[in-house]
Amino acid sequence: MHRRTFLKVVGVAGAFGLPLAGCHDVGTTDDVLRLPAFLSGICDEKTLHEIGIAFGKRFPQSYRSDILKNELMRSVLDGKQIASTDPSRLSSLLYERVERDFHSGNVTDLKGWILSITEARQCALYSLSIPQ
């Protein structure tokens, strides 16, 4: 099954749980930036770390915490920095950004996963946050 098909199936199945989705704590702003919501629900920490390392090897010029945070905090619509640091709002914005990445083909293949560039950046940030 292709990831897009899988996401559609999961999205339809999960739609019934959406009213409850906003009821839990999403963590801090840093947690939201470094953990891709969907991917962290189906991958373990080791896989997220490996994806992040693979991103660093493919895009070494972007593999720095400050650059990754800057890119993740940039609005897709106008390129300006996202003003909200509310973790729930930021989580929603990143989710929308992942969807836009897939719709526009802004994806990359890392460690056998077809990921939106947003998810890949989040994994890279996660990998940089783990002590070596």
The confidence score (pLDDT) of residue 49 equals 96
The confidence score (pLDDT) of residue 29 equals 86
Give the CA dihedral 93, 96, 98, 103, nearest 10 degrees. Answer: -150
Low-confidence spans in the chain with pLDDT less than 70: 1-26, 75-80, 83-84, 132
The confidence score (pLDDT) of residue 100 equals 93
Q: Specify the pTM.
A: 0.78
Residue 44 structure tokens: 């373990």
Instruction: Give CA–CA dist 34/44, Å, rounded.
Output: 14
The confidence score (pLDDT) of residue 2 equals 52
The confidence score (pLDDT) of residue 51 equals 97
Which residues have CB under 8 Å from 82's CB, separation 6+? 73, 74, 75, 90, 93
